[in-house]
């Protein structure tokens, strides 16, 4: 057993990405952000589908068509493969913990 809110440093100069599960079928990641946007340039254009939930903090996602979605605690979203998107803002006051399932 482990806790999703454990081992979060107070200083987070770069996004922290950890695999919690990684098999041929799926990957479960914990992503911890604090003020970062990502990727640094351009868009995520993923081979896999992604189901993502914000467990603390908040993050704002933009799609390549200009749509923006603010995700607060408990909000979840399904991002299909090759649906171009990026994270344009995350909380600077607290860590944003994302749980992302890629499949």
* 69-94 per-residue burial string, b: 16 or more CB within 10 A, e: under 16: eebeeeeeeebeeebebbbebbbeee
Q: Min. distance of Cβ 62 from a copy of itself in angstroms?
A: 13
Q: Min. distance of Cβ 40 from a copy of itself in angstroms?
A: 25
Q: Which is nearer to a copy of itself, 40 or 67 (CB)?
A: 67
Binding site for a copy of itself (CB under 8 A): 1-6, 20-21, 23, 25-26, 28, 51, 53, 55, 69, 71-72, 74-78, 99, 101, 103
């Amino acid at each position: 057993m482990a806790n999703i809110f454990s081992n979060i440093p107070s200083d987070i100069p770069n996004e922290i990405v950890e695999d919690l599960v990684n098999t041929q079928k799926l990957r479960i990641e914990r992503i911890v952000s604090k003020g970062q946007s990502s990727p640094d340039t351009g868009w995520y254009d993923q081979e896999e589908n992604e189901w993502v939930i914000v467990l603390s903090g908040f993050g704002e996602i933009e799609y390549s068509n200009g749509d923006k979605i603010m995700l607060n605690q408990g909000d979840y979203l399904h991002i299909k493969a090759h649906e171009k998107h990026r994270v344009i803002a995350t909380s600077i006051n607290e860590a944003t913990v994302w749980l992302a399932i890629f499949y």
